[in-house]
């Protein structure tokens, strides 16, 4: 192994260890917000759309959080846009869903300015939110993190000053330059832990519309997303869904295990279907 490879491996190991030490049940400094809602942005590559929906539902379910936007590193028209549309409908919210960068970063300093304009929405939104929001912004990053890294490269001082925390799995997810740059950024990183289990562990007491939403993702439904929520779910289909296993991420803003189930059971709905 080359000396360069050894040094790089050492850097990543040190960074991840430091981030792991920061894991806690609450966002550091959150209690200092004096009752104000914490602005949050969720970034994903949609690798597991069902897991993403459950994580998003956890963010929607917490009244102390103000979910400002969802950045999707996926093609326009993906299931991620459908999920945000459905959750907005059920909760009466107006969370934005934005197209993120589609291509991997080419270097550890890539600002991704040459990627198609229609994929720049996520980076532009992120920079705007950090610039204009009165409170520092927390980010939950379950994908490559390339939008966050590109935003950092374009305005590192803004990210350092206005980013309250970044929650991420901190494992390499197919974009090695984004991964390495995030670890080197000096941003306040917190590891999202991963556990695998049956969906029954988190959905047994969840509102029926949320279960139906998850069923649609599981079956890859492509019809009208709101009309689908109105149709009843057959008992055998629900049973099959709840026996499905998924790897779910948690830590900080997204709780683990029984706490996840308790939170999803309290998802505040303005519409029951």
pLDDT (0 to 100) of residue 252: 87
Mean pLDDT of 230-245: 94
pLDDT (0 to 100) of residue 46: 78
Assess whether pLDDT exceeds 70 at residue 31. Answer: no
Residues 122 and 225 in one domain: no
Residues 138-181 have pLDDT tens digits of 999 998 899 999 999 999 999 999 999 999 999 887 899 999 99
Residues 42-65 have pLDDT tens digits of 999 877 889 999 999 999 999 999
Residues 58 and 170 in one domain: yes
Find, among 188, 163, 43, the residue nearest to 101 by Cα.
43
Residues 101 and 175 in one domain: yes
254 assigned to some structural domain: no
Assess whether pLDDT exceeds 70 at residue 261. Answer: yes
Mean pLDDT of 170-197: 92
262 assigned to some structural domain: no
Q: Tell me the C-alpha distance between 97 and 179, whole Å.
A: 23
Residues 73 and 121 in one domain: yes
Q: Which residue has the tokens 């206005």?
A: 162
Q: Check which CATH number belongs to the domain holding 41 and give it.
A: 3.90.245.10
Residues 125 and 53 in one domain: yes
272 assigned to some structural domain: no
79 — pLDDT class (breaks 50, 70, 90): confident
Phi, psi of 128 (to 5 degrees): -65, -45
Mean pLDDT of 216-234: 92
Assess whether pLDDT exceeds 50 at residue 272. Answer: yes
Give me the chain's average pLDDT, please.
86
Residues 104 and 224 in one domain: no
State how many domains the chain has: 2
The residue that leads in pLDDT, 57 or 1, is 57
Containing domain of residue 145, as a range? 15-22+33-195
Contact between 141 and 189 (Cβ < 8 Å): no
Distance of CA 128 to the CA centre of its chain: 18
- Kindly state the greatest CA–CA separation across the chain: 60
Residues 117 and 143 in one domain: yes
pLDDT (0 to 100) of residue 21: 39
Residues 148 and 106 in one domain: yes
Residues 48 and 117 in one domain: yes
pTM for this prediction: 0.87
Contact between 119 and 8 (Cβ < 8 Å): no
2 — pLDDT class (breaks 50, 70, 90): very low
Q: Tell me the C-alpha distance between 66 and 36, whole Å.
A: 9
Alpha helical stretches, state H, 72-168: 79-91, 121-132, 146-154, 156-162
pLDDT (0 to 100) of residue 77: 55
pLDDT (0 to 100) of residue 105: 96
Residues 172 and 206 in one domain: no
129 — pLDDT class (breaks 50, 70, 90): very high
Helix 79-91 to helix 49-60 angle (10° resolution) is: 30
The CB-side HSE value for 22 (13 A sphere, CA atoms) comes to: 21
Residues 173 and 244 in one domain: no
Q: Tell me the C-alpha distance between 188 and 268, whole Å.
A: 30
Residues 69 and 167 in one domain: yes
Q: Tell me the C-alpha distance between 157 and 227, whole Å.
A: 45
pLDDT (0 to 100) of residue 78: 76
117 assigned to some structural domain: yes
Distance of CA 46 to the CA centre of its chain: 9
Q: Tell me the C-alpha distance between 178 and 109, whole Å.
A: 9
Nearest-5° Cα angle at 220, 215 to 221:
80
Q: Tell me the C-alpha distance between 273 and 271, whole Å.
A: 5
């Amino acid at each position: 192994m080359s000396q360069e490879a050894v040094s790089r491996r050492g850097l990543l190991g040190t960074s991840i260890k430091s981030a792991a030490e920061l894991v806690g049940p609450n966002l550091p400094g959150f209690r200092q917000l004096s009752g104000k809602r914490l602005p949050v942005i969720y970034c994903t590559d949609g690798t597991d759309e069902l897991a993403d929906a459950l994580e998003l539902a956890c963010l929607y379910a917490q009244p102390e959080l103000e979910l400002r936007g969802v950045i999707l590193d996926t093609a326009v028209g993906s299931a991620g846009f459908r999920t945000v549309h459905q959750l907005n409908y059920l909760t009466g919210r107006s969370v934005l869903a934005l197209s993120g960068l589609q291509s991997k970063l080419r270097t550890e300093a890539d600002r991704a300015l040459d990627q198609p304009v229609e994929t720049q929405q996520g980076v532009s939104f992120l920079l705007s939110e950090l610039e204009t929001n009165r409170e520092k912004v927390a980010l939950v990053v379950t994908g490559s993190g390339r939008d966050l890294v590109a935003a950092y490269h374009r305005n590192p001082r803004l990210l350092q000053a206005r980013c309250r925390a970044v929650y991420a799995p901190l494992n390499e997810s197919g974009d090695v330059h984004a991964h390495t740059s995030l670890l080197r950024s000096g941003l306040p990183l917190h590891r999202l832990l991963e556990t695998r289990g049956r969906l029954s562990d988190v959905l047994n007491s969840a509102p029926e519309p949320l279960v139906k939403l998850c069923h649609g993702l599981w079956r890859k439904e492509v019809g009208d997303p709101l009309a689908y929520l109105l149709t009843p779910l057959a008992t055998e289909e629900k049973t099959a869904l709840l026996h499905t296993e998924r790897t779910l991420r948690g830590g900080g803003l997204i709780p683990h295990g029984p706490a996840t189930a308790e939170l999803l059971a309290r998802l505040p709905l303005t519409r029951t279907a």
